[in-house]
Amino acid sequence: MAPAAVIVGPPGAGKTTVGQTLAALLDVPFLDADAVIEAKAGKPIPEIFIDDGEPAFRAMEREAVAGTLGSFEGIFALGGGAIMDPGTRAALAPHTVVFLSVELPDAVKRVGLGAGRPLLSVNPRATLKYLMEQRRPLYAEVATHTIATDGREPEAIAAQLAALLAPAGDATT
């Protein structure tokens, strides 16, 4: 049992938006790792960061990702920083992993840099830039497919992915 695809990428890449549309196209369920962690912890992510700190959050995330990878058949979107953890990266190795890439201008427009993102609470634009640069090689390392999303509609990206993921022979001619 394995997800049809795992989606990774920075905040604002469109993991949730594209992932939900893709799941609907493939008629499979969609799951966000952040939601799994919040349900297990019984509190929102900003509170986990405040109460427990980032290392504890990454450990919860590693456990949630590994557990879900072994039991979920659908589209599974990870949190933007999940690939920072070596254990999480290792767990992704046998899976179909889609890196939704986005450059800073579109990411800033999409994220809005408002509340609710603990790592972007101070100097959000510069921090997002730094995080994206630091993480890009790690997204690329775990990815089996990379799709640039800048200037593209989520529906078009989801349709491209659905075609990419459809088993050979599924296409009707």
Ligand X SMILES: Nc1ncnc2c1ncn2[C@@H]1O[C@H](COP(=O)(O)OP(=O)(O)OP(=O)(O)O)[C@@H](O)[C@H]1O
Ligand Y SMILES: O=C(O)C1=C[C@@H](O)[C@@H](O)[C@H](O)C1
**What span, in angstroms and rounded, lies between the C-alpha atoms of 7 and 34?**
13
Check binding of 160 to Mg ion (CB under 5 A).
no
Binding site annotation covers 152?
yes
Question: Which whole-number Å values give the CA distances from 172 to 23, 85, 168, in the listed order?
Answer: 19, 41, 10
Member of 95, 110, 129, 136 binding ligand X (CB under 6 A): 110
**What span, in angstroms and rounded, lies between the C-alpha atoms of 15 and 115?**
19
The binder of 152, among Mg ion, ligand X, ligand Y, none, by C-beta within 5 to 8 A per type, is ligand X
Task: Spell out, one character per residue from 16 to 55, where the chain touches Mg ion: x when CB under 5 A holds, - when not.
Answer: x---------------------------------------
Instruction: Please report how close the Cβ of residue 11 comes to Mg ion at its closest, in angstroms.
Output: 8
Among residues 88 and 149, whose Cβ is nearest to ligand X?
149
Nearest alpha carbon to residue 30 among 173, 166, 171, 158: 158
Nearest alpha carbon to residue 104 among 19, 7, 13: 13
In 24-144, DSSP assigns E strands to 30-32, 75-77, 97-101
Q: Return residues touching ligand X (CB under 6 A).
A: 9, 11-17, 80, 110, 149, 152-154, 157
Contacting residues toward ligand Y, per CB under 6 A: 11, 34, 45, 79-81, 117-119
- Name the site residues for Mg ion (rule: CB under 5 A): 15-16
